[in-house]
Chains A and B, each alone.
Chain A
Amino acid sequence: MGGYGDVQLLRDDGLRLDGRKLDESRPVSIQAGILPAADGSAIVTHGLNVAVAAVYGPMEAHPRKIQRQDRAVIDVRYNMAPFSTSDRIRPGFNRRSREISKVTAEALESVVLVERFPRSKIRVEIEILAAEAGTRCAGITAASVALADAGIPMRDMIVGVASGKIEDTVVLDLDKAEDNYGQADLPAGILPNTGEIAFLQMDGDLSPEEFDLAMEYNFKAAKEIHEIMVDALKARYDGGDN
């Protein structure tokens, strides 16, 4: 949230600046299995965001101090490419990418059957090639598809979605202007089949009623994006099956 300011984010006809309705998500497209060298991979285009995820493993966890005798550890590395935004980003880890890597790993650990792979490590690399608000959500969605593509057992897939508040109005899937000048942002990782929440963050303030509406939007978007995720996975293997 960049501040309240006096930037107009809603048009007079009630639509948003890019013409979307309040509960309308940006277009999403997903492709699985794009990297031959990885055990599983996916690319997610969410609006102008482009996230690529690659999964390697399970492999022996190194260094040994990170090994867990009863389960696998998930090692996530989220990184934004230097050219992903209009201002060049200094390459390498920073505070933000560490935080997103950590919350993504914790979210994925809640769905991956980690107890099947003791002492192992599953490496997830998320690279943001283009950023336009909502990169952590696109990254989680891409990681989830890549894990499924790698054959890692999971009890459900996670869909990364976000809602927020602009001009005292709750809206789904903030774009860059809405993220910068809006009042709140509520990214969530939702398990579409069980309706559970694997991760939830909030930036800014929402009243209980606004929070409920934002989550309602998130669940609605999660269902839509989940269908695209399933189609992407099926398209890789079902095509030409007959």
Chain B
Amino acid sequence: MSQGRSGAEQRLVTPGMTIGSLSGMRVGSGAISQNDEIIATKLGWVRESNGTVSVDPINSPYLPRSGDLVIAHVAEVRNNLWFMDINGSFQGLLPMSLAPWKVEFGQARQHMDIGDAALARVQEVDECHNVVLTMKGVGLRRLSQGAVVEVPVNHLDRIRGDNNSNLDRMKDTSDCRIIVGENGRVWIDGDDNGISWTREALAIAKQHGHKKNFDSIMKKHEGSFTRKGDA
């Protein structure tokens, strides 16, 4: 995933564009090597670090990886498993053996029904993109309250900020619990005012997440927060 754009050189490239010579460089994500040249395969910003040239894509589908914390919605329920929509190309499979409850065969729907949201972790992804989820782990649970907002996957790092600085400020300002899933879904829970403000903040992130002045835009928005009862 994108690691933000903190480097000095920020060059926007389009698919097929030559980034530079291959000599001595390694090819990272978003690029391929062709005839001793590094070619961009995605629309995004060129990043060069530790001898690796990659492209931070501007827009990217969510590709699940083992260990990812995701916010999933139940798409289908069977007797002993759930199919979860994880905002990716394929649904994730949550077997009842990896659910946090003791589930009797045929009783899966009593614990989570279609449309319910859950905080889960990606247990396994195979080469054919089959995804197995788990809800066994600290904090993994059904999300029975709050709101889920979708944001572009490639803006997650900027929403979090360095060492979660942006996210912590957002939590402090709104007084909400906020969980950012790697699949581009954000769970917000708090009072109506806080949820509403955080939704607006994430809408701003969605629109301006690729801009250099994103942090200052967010800080400006933080100043706009008014608590209930404030004048």
Interface residue B166 (Cβ < 8 Å from any Cβ of A): no
The distance from the CB of A160 to the nearest CB of chain B, in whole angstroms, is 15
Q: Are B41 and A60 in contact (CB under 8 A)?
A: no
Task: List the B side residues contacting A154 at CB < 8 Å.
Answer: 15-16, 41-42
User: A155-B16, A192-B16 are known contacts. Are A119 and B129 too (CB-CB below 8 A)?
Assistant: yes
* Total count of chain B residues near the partner, CB < 8 A: 31
Q: Are B17 and A241 in contact (CB under 8 A)?
A: no
Q: Are A157 and B14 in contact (CB under 8 A)?
A: yes
Interface residue A86 (Cβ < 8 Å from any Cβ of B): no
Cβ-defined partner of A151 (8 Å) among B12, B60, B129, B211: B60
Interface residue A57 (Cβ < 8 Å from any Cβ of B): yes
Q: Are A119 and B128 in contact (CB under 8 A)?
A: yes
Task: List the A side residues contacting B227 at CB < 8 Å.
Answer: none
Interface residue A240 (Cβ < 8 Å from any Cβ of B): yes
Q: Are B129 and A233 in contact (CB under 8 A)?
A: no
Q: Are A60 and B89 in contact (CB under 8 A)?
A: yes
CA–CA, A166 and B129, complex, Å: 52
Interface residue B58 (Cβ < 8 Å from any Cβ of A): yes
Interface residue B181 (Cβ < 8 Å from any Cβ of A): no
Q: Are B16 and A39 in contact (CB under 8 A)?
A: no
Interface residues on A, range: 35 or more
Task: List the A side residues contacting B43 at CB < 8 Å.
Answer: 148-149, 151, 233, 237
User: A57-B89, A118-B129 are known contacts. Are A150 and B14 too (CB-CB below 8 A)?
Assistant: no
- Judged by DSSP, the binding face of B is loop
Interface residue A234 (Cβ < 8 Å from any Cβ of B): yes
**Residue of B with least CB distance to A147:** B15
Chain B 98-115 per-residue mask, 1 if CB under 8 angstroms from chain A, else 0 = 000000000000000000
Interface residue B141 (Cβ < 8 Å from any Cβ of A): no
CA–CA, A57 and B63, complex, Å: 12
Interface residue B219 (Cβ < 8 Å from any Cβ of A): no
Task: List the B side residues contacting A193 at CB < 8 Å.
Answer: 16-18, 39
The distance from the CB of B19 to the nearest CB of chain A, in whole angstroms, is 12
Interface residue A164 (Cβ < 8 Å from any Cβ of B): no
User: A69-B128, A153-B30, A155-B41 are known contacts. Are A237 and B90 too (CB-CB below 8 A)?
Assistant: no
Interface residue A89 (Cβ < 8 Å from any Cβ of B): no
Interface residue A17 (Cβ < 8 Å from any Cβ of B): no
**Residue of A with least CB distance to B154:** A151
Task: List the B side residues contacting A148 at CB < 8 Å.
Answer: 14-15, 42-43
Q: Are A156 and B211 in contact (CB under 8 A)?
A: no
Interface residue A139 (Cβ < 8 Å from any Cβ of B): no
The distance from the CB of B215 to the nearest CB of chain A, in whole angstroms, is 14
CA–CA, A242 and B18, complex, Å: 24
Given contacts A148-B15, A241-B210, 9 further A-B contacts (CB under 8 A): A40-B59, A118-B129, A119-B90, A151-B154, A194-B16, A230-B14, A233-B43, A237-B58, A242-B213
Contacts from A to B (Cβ < 8 Å):
39-40, 57-60, 69, 111, 113, 117-120, 147-157, 191-194, 229-230, 233-234, 237-238, 240-242
Between-chain CB contacts (< 8 Å), 10 pairs: A120-B90, A151-B42, A151-B57, A151-B154, A153-B15, A155-B39, A156-B39, A193-B18, A193-B39, A237-B58
Closest 8 CB pairs of A and B: A156-B16, A151-B59, A153-B41, A154-B15, A193-B16, A151-B60, A58-B89, A148-B43
